[in-house]
Amino acid sequence: MQIWLADELRHMAPQGPKATFDWVMGLAGESVRRIERRHTFRVELGGRDYFVKQHYGLTWADIVGEVIRLRRPVLGAGNEYRMTALLNCIGIDTAQLVAFGVDGRWPTTQRSFIITRALPQSCTLNELCMQWKQQPSAKLKRQLIRAVGEIVAKMHGAGINHRDLYVNHFRLPLNWLENPIGEPPLFLMDLHRAQEHTVLSYRWRVKDLAALLFSVLGKPLSKRDHLRFLQTYFGERSLSRIFEANGGLFRAITEKAEAILHQQERRIKRKSAANRDE
C-alpha cells in the first residue's frame, strides 16, 4: 500500500495507512463523472472544496484491448498523480495535488485514488466559445490562442502527450474574464491518460494536435487564428518556414481530425438508431 496526504488533509484522516485509505475510498459527494471502475466527485472537507477520483482496477478485457491497440493500459490513479506533478514541475498550471493512494498490485483488483483542490470558479474554453454569440474581442482571442499554444508547445517539448487534448480540458478562472489583467491563467486538466516519453514521437504529436483541431471545428476561429496558434506552437514567426518544414505533419493532423469527426458522427447515428428502436 502507498499513501500520501498533504498537511491540509492529514489532520482530518484517521491514523494508519489502511484506515486513511478506507476513509478516502468511503468519501461521497456531488458526482461529476461515473464510468465503469472510476468515479469522480466533488466534496467539501474542512470548509474547502476538493475533487476525488476513485479507481477500482481494470478488467483483463480492458488490458488486452489496450495492448492490441499498441497502447499502454492506464492502471489506476498513479498515472494522473505522476503527470500532474510533472506538469507542475515544468511550469504548466493544472490541479493542485493534495492526496494519492494505491492498494493492491494486481491491475484487476487494485484500488487507488487521487484528490486535488477544486479550482476557483472557472469555465472550459469550449464553454467560453459556446457563449460567443458574436465574434469576441480580437485581443481576447489572441491571448487565449497564445496561451494554449505555449502550453501545448511546453508539454510536447518535455516529451508529454495528453491523449485527450480537447479545448474542454483547458479551464479559465471567471475572475480573470471579469478583470482580464495580464495573460490568461489557463489550467490544463484531466491528465488521466497522459504519457511521458524521452522524445515525443510523430504519432503522439499528430494525435494530440488533431484532437485539438477537432475540438475547435465550428468555433468562431478564423484561418488567421489557426496560423497564430502555429506560430506560437513552433516558436516561429515565418509561416513559410513553418509550412516548408511541417507540411506532412499538417496533412496528417487534418486527416486525423476528419477521422475523429466521422467517428463521432457514426457514434451519434448509432445512438440515435438505438433510441428509435427502444
The CATH number for 31's domain is 3.30.200
Residues 109 and 207 in one domain: no
At which of 117, 149, 167 does a domain end? 117
88-126 in b/e burial notation, b at 16+ Cβ within 10 A?
Answer: eeeebebbebbbbbbbeeebeebbbbbbbeebeebbbbb
Residues 176 and 271 in one domain: yes
Residue 50 cell numbers, joined: 476538493
Distance CA(82)–CA(238), nearest Å, equals: 36
Q: What is the pLDDT of residue 275?
A: 67
Residues 32 and 154 in one domain: no
Q: What is the pLDDT of residue 67?
A: 73
Residues 29 and 67 in one domain: yes
130-144 in b/e burial notation, b at 16+ Cβ within 10 A?
Answer: eeeeeeeeeeebebb
At which of 117, 152, 168 does a domain end? 117
Residues 128 and 163 in one domain: yes
Residues 96 and 135 in one domain: no
Residues 110 and 140 in one domain: no
Distance CA(137)–CA(143), nearest Å, equals: 10
The residue behind cell 494522473 is 80
Distance CA(35)–CA(188), nearest Å, equals: 21
Q: What is the pLDDT of residue 28?
A: 92
250-262 in b/e burial notation, b at 16+ Cβ within 10 A?
Answer: eebbeebbeebee
Number of domains in the chain: 2
How many C-alpha atoms does 107 have within 13 Å on its Cβ side?
A: 12
Residues 128 and 222 in one domain: yes
Q: What is the pLDDT of residue 269?
A: 81
Domain membership of residue 82 as a residue range = 2-117
Average pLDDT along the chain, 278 residues, taken 10 residues at a time:
94 92 95 90 95 87 74 83 94 95 88 94 92 78 96 98 96 93 94 94 96 93 93 95 94 95 86 66
At which of 64, 85, 117 does a domain end? 117
Read off φ and ψ for residue 263, nearest 5 degrees.
-65, -45
User: Beta strand pairing status for 30-35 and 2-5?
Assistant: unpaired
pTM: 0.90
Residues 94 and 133 in one domain: no
Distance CA(245)–CA(9), nearest Å, equals: 50
CATH number at residue 147: 1.10.510.10
Question: Residue 96 contacts by C-beta under 8 Å, 6 or more apart in sequence?
Answer: 88, 116, 117
Active site residues: 164
Residues 169 and 81 in one domain: no
Residues 177 and 270 in one domain: yes
Residues 216 and 190 in one domain: yes
